[in-house]
């Protein structure tokens, strides 16, 4: 059971006990960082609950199991952040194609896909699933609704689903995931069993990456390090050119930290008309990782191991610990601002000045 899920032994044990007791909760919330197996576990639980041979038989080959893994089972419903349905007929075709394309990407194990902070669980899709859950099961058994990133439910969509969560129809199960449980509507959390997922170890990530023979041991080690406990992030470094983006982030950080105000102005200028939220988020995540590494060197937790493109010690010597902690908090606020659709140029300019000021 749960063989395709990397690590998370405590979570596996608890979920196995729930299934064996035949008292699996009607709503469960899997909480933990990005890329540690919550979405994969949600799909695995859906397969077990819908399996025609029962969840404890260890079946992976029946017709139902195959349909669930292909996301084709009529009693499996999925919700994830997406853009609202367009109003014009021509663009709606493209919207449906994009929606189906994203569903297809969710079949992959640990797909390195990041949702924009501004994307929410849109009311049109929530309403569609809500109506289907009130109907009878297509195949006369259980019905499962997976909700990816439950913190993206707003009060309207959250209250819509709450009606079912409060008095769930027989055989309806909600499996929800979240990266930030404090942002999930309290009414949702109070009606779900919460299970915590931890960050993966470097060893667990490296071991998983051995399945890709084109990656050298050195590449696996580097990806595991930069993944920071997230297998999806590690895969992005390995296969989606994220290493180039991270190097760009480090170079920008270093130039702004050690340069004058003109460096801030030069690096901030390209963002003036930018609409690339994911690009900005990637840069800020790189700033955060670099700041954390500098803090570790400053505190004596680690040595400058030359993993980064320049010496961390020089930057550690140029800043106070308190200033670095304030910068780290400021970078987190910057990500939250992007999630509220604050102007990208304003956010990036503000953060670049904060980096610059930290090292003065």
Residue 337 in any domain: the answer is yes
CB 149 within 8 A of CB 45: no
Average pLDDT score over residue span 144-170: 88
79 and 22 share a domain? Answer: yes
231 and 327 share a domain? Answer: no
pLDDT at 118 exceeding the cut of 80: no
Chain segment 238-284, per-residue pLDDT in tens? 887 666 677 788 889 989 999 889 999 999 998 888 777 878 888 88
103 and 181 share a domain? Answer: yes
62 and 187 share a domain? Answer: yes
State how many domains the chain has: 3
226 and 175 share a domain? Answer: no
Residue 274 in any domain: the answer is yes
- In this predicted structure, what is the pLDDT of residue 7? 93
137 and 273 share a domain? Answer: no
Residue 145 in any domain: the answer is yes
CA dist 55 and 295 (Å) reads 47
15 and 68 share a domain? Answer: yes
pLDDT at 302 exceeding the cut of 70: no
- In this predicted structure, what is the pLDDT of residue 310? 55
222 and 148 share a domain? Answer: no
Average pLDDT score over residue span 317-322: 90
pLDDT at 49 exceeding the cut of 80: yes
pLDDT at 360 exceeding the cut of 90: no
- In this predicted structure, what is the pLDDT of residue 29? 96
CB 126 within 8 A of CB 79: yes
Residue 3 in any domain: the answer is no
Chain segment 217-244, per-residue pLDDT in tens? 888 888 888 788 899 988 888 887 666 6
CB 188 within 8 A of CB 196: no
Quick one: which H or E segment has residue 351?
helix 344-358
Q: Give the mean pLDDT of the chain.
A: 86
- In this predicted structure, what is the pLDDT of residue 250? 86
Domain boundaries, position 214: 201-240
234 and 247 share a domain? Answer: no
206 and 217 share a domain? Answer: yes
When pLDDT is cut at 50, 70 and 90, the band that residue 15 belongs to is: very high
Chain segment 59-91, per-residue pLDDT in tens? 888 888 899 999 999 999 999 998 888 876 668
Domain containing 270 — which CATH number?
1.20.272
CA dist 48 and 59 (Å) reads 8
pLDDT at 167 exceeding the cut of 90: no
Q: What percent of the chain has pLDDT over 90?
A: 39
pLDDT at 304 exceeding the cut of 70: no
Residue 4 in any domain: the answer is no
Q: Is the dihedral of CA 51, 57, 63, 65 positive or negative?
A: positive
Residue 276 in any domain: the answer is yes
When pLDDT is cut at 50, 70 and 90, the band that residue 326 belongs to is: very high
Domain stop point among 175, 209, 240: 240
Strand locations in the chain (E):
27-31, 76-79, 143-147, 172-178, 193-196
CA dist 121 and 343 (Å) reads 22
- In this predicted structure, what is the pLDDT of residue 305? 52
Domain containing 92 — which CATH number?
3.40.50.300
Per the structure block, which two tokens stand in for 240? 């989606």
Residue 1 in any domain: the answer is no
- In this predicted structure, what is the pLDDT of residue 89? 64
222 and 160 share a domain? Answer: no
Residue 121 in any domain: the answer is yes
pLDDT at 125 exceeding the cut of 60: yes
- In this predicted structure, what is the pLDDT of residue 119? 82
Quick one: which H or E segment has residue 124?
helix 123-134
156 and 60 share a domain? Answer: yes
């Amino acid at each position: 059971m749960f063989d395709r899920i990397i690590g998370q032994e405590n979570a596996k044990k608890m979920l196995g006990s729930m299934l064996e007791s035949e008292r699996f909760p009607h709503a469960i919330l899997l909480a933990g960082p990005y890329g540690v197996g919550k979405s994969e576990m949600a799909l695995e639980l859906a397969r077990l609950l819908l399996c025609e041979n029962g969840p404890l038989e260890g079946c992976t080959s029946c017709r139902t199991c195959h349909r669930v893994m292909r996301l084709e089972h009529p009693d499996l419903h999925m919700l994830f952040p997406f853009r609202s349905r367009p109003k014009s007929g021509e663009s709606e075709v493209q919207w449906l194609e994009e929606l189906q394309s994203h569903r297809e990407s969710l079949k992959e194990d640990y797909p390195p896909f990041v949702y924009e902070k501004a994307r929410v669980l849109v009311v049109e899709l929530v309403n569609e699933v809500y109506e289907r859950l009130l109907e009878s099961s297509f195949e006369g058994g259980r019905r499962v609704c997976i909700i990816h990133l439950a913190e993206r439910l707003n009060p309207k969509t959250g209250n819509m689903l709450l009606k079912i969560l409060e008095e769930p129809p027989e055989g309806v199960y909600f499996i929800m995931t979240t990266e930030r449980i404090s942002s999930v509507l309290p009414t949702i959390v109070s009606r779900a069993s919460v299970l915590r997922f931890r960050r993966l170890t470097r060893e667990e990530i490296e071991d998983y990456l051995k399945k890709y023979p084109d990656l050298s041991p050195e590449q696996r080690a580097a990806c595991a390090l930069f993944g920071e406990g997230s297998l999806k992030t590690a895969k992005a470094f390995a296969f989606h050119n994220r290493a180039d983006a991270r190097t760009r982030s480090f170079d920008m950080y270093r130039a702004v930290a050690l340069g004058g105000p003109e460096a801030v102005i030069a690096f901030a200028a390209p963002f003036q008309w930018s609409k690339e939220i994911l690009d900005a988020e990637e840069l800020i995540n790189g700033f955060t990782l670099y700041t954390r590494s500098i803090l570790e060197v400053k505190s004596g937790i680690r040595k400058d191991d030359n993993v980064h493109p320049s010496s961390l010690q020089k930057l550690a010597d140029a800043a106070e610990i308190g200033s670095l902690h304030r910068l780290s908090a400021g970078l987190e606020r910057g990500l939250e601002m992007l999630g509220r659709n604050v102007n990208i140029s304003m956010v990036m300019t503000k953060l670049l000045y904060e980096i610059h000021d930290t090292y003065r």
